[in-house]
Amino acid sequence: MGMKSDERLETIYQEVLKRNPGETEFHQAVREVLESLGPVLAKYPEFRERKIIERICEPERQIIFRVPWQDDKGEVHVNRGFRVQYNSALGPYKGGLRFHPSVYLGIIKFLGFEQIFKNALTGLPIGGGKGGSDFDPKGKSDNEIMRFCQSFMTELWRYIGEYTDVPAGDIGVGGREIGYMFGQYKRLTSKYEAGVLTGKGLDYGGSLVRTEATGYGATFFVQEMLRARGDEGFGGKTCVVSGSGNVAIYTVEKIHQLGGRVVACSDSNGFVLDEKGIDLELLKQLKEVERRRIRDYVEYRKHARYVEGGNIWSVPCQVAMPSATQNELNGKDAAQLVKNGCIAVGEGANMPTTPEGIRVFLEAKIAYGPGKAANAGGVATSALEMQQNACRDSWTFEYTEKRLAHIMKNIHQNCWDTAEEFGAKGNYVVGANIAGFIKVAKAMVAHGLI
C-alpha cells in the first residue's frame, strides 16, 4: 500500500500508535486515510512542512466526564461520557453521539477522525467531532432514558453551541434521546438555540428528510457509482442491507423506491431472509415503534426465515449495503460477496469493512463506496437543518430531498475526479480520502499554526 513507500507517513502512523495505545479502531481509521496521502504530499509540499498530517491526527480537544443516573428502582449507575472535538478548520464541530456499551475513547476518536473528512466532502461549512457514552439504552424505560440524557447534557452543555459544536444522533441515539437532551440544554442555558442539536423532532426545529437522510444518501451514492459504470441503477437488483436501525430502514425504503429488492436485514442476534422482499412497514413497526428484535419479523411473515447468529453476507446479492456498525464485514465475507456476484457495496455505517475486506473489493474492481463518502448524506442533511434553524425556516420534504440528492451526486463526482487525478481511476477510497483531506488541509494552512 501507499504508506510503506513514504517513510514520513509510516513514521507519523507509528507515532499515532505510540501516543494512543490500545485504540484499535482509531488506528485503523488513521491508517486507512494515511495510506492514500503519499501523492498528496508530493503535490503539496507545504502540507509536509506545516506538519498538517501530524496536527490533523491529534484532536483539538477531548472531553471525558462522569454520568451518574438513577434507574426506575432507585439504583444508582455510573457511565462515562465523551466528546472529542476533533477539527474545526471548516466550521463548528459536527458529529453524532453514540450510546452503546462498546463505546470507549478509541471508538469516539475513530468516528471523529472519519467525520472530519466526511464533513469536508459534503462541501458544507462543518468541522469534525463525535461523542457518546458506554450507556446501553436497550431495555431501558423512557424515564430511565430521560434521566440519563439529562445527566449527560448537564455536563456536555458547557462545551457545545451552534457556533461551537453541534451534536446529533448515532447508534442508540434517535429522536427520543435528542428531544430529552435538547430540553435539558434549553433549561440549562435559558436559550432556545435550535441550531445546537440536529435530528430534532419536526415540532421543534427539526428538518424533514433528516430521519431518512443517511439511508437515502447512501442509496443515491450507490446509484451514482452504478451509473458511472454504465449500469442504469437499482432496477431489478437483489440487495442485502445489514442492520435494522435508522440507516438500514431508510436504505431499504429508497432501494425499493428505485426498483431494487432488499431480501435480508439483521440485528446483533441474527438476520432475516425474505425472498419476496423485506416488508418495510413491518420493519418500521417492529423497530421504530415497538423497539423489538429482528427475529420477531418471521411471526408476521411466515414465509421468511430467521437465522440466529447467522452471517448476512452469505446471502447472494448484487448490491450490499453494510449499515450496522464498524468492522461487521471482513475479508472472508467480502470474498463470499464477490463470489456470489456482488457488483456494488455502499457503506451506510462508519468503517463497516475491515482492511482485508476493502482490499478484496478493490482487487475485484467492484464499485466500493467507503462510508465517509457514501453515508455523508446524514450529516449533510444535519447541516441543512442548521441552515433552516439559522434563518428560522423549514423546508418541504421534496426540496430537502432534492438538495440531498444533489449533494450526494457532487460527492460522487468529487471522489471520482480526485481518484482519476491521482492515478487511481474508479477507486473511491483514494478519491474520498484525498478530496476530504485537501479541503481541510488548505483551511488549516490558511489559519496558521493553531
Q: How far apart are CA 318 and CA 337, in angstroms?
A: 8
Give the chain's largest Cα–Cα span. 64
Binding residue per annotation — 382?
yes
Q: Which residue has the cell 465523551?
A: 82
Catalytic residue from among 43, 109, 130, 442 = 130
Cα(87)–Cα(55) distance, integer angstroms: 9
Distance from C-alpha of 323 to C-alpha of 244, rounded to nearest angstrom: 8
| Closest alpha carbon to 216 in 401, 414, 388, 428 | 401
Checking DSSP bridges between strand 165-169 and strand 261-267, what pairing results, if any?
A: unpaired
Q: Are 304 and 273 in contact (CB under 8 A)?
A: yes
Q: What is the CA radius of gyration of the chain?
A: 21
Is residue 190 a known part of a binding site?
A: no
Is 130 one of the annotated active-site residues of the chain?
yes
Other beta carbons within 10 Å of 42: 11
> In this structure, which amino acid lies at residue 272?
V
Known binding residue 257? Answer is no
339 labelled as ligand-binding?
A: no
DSSP sequence for 269-325: TEEEE-TT---HHHHHIIIIIS---GGGHHHH-TT-EEEET--GGGS--SEEE--S-
Q: Is 123 annotated as a binding residue?
A: no
Q: What residues are designated binding site for NAD(+)? A: 214, 246
Q: What residues are designated binding site? A: 94, 115, 118, 169, 214, 246, 382
Q: What residues are designated binding site for substrate? A: 94, 115, 118, 169, 382
Residues taking part in catalysis: 130
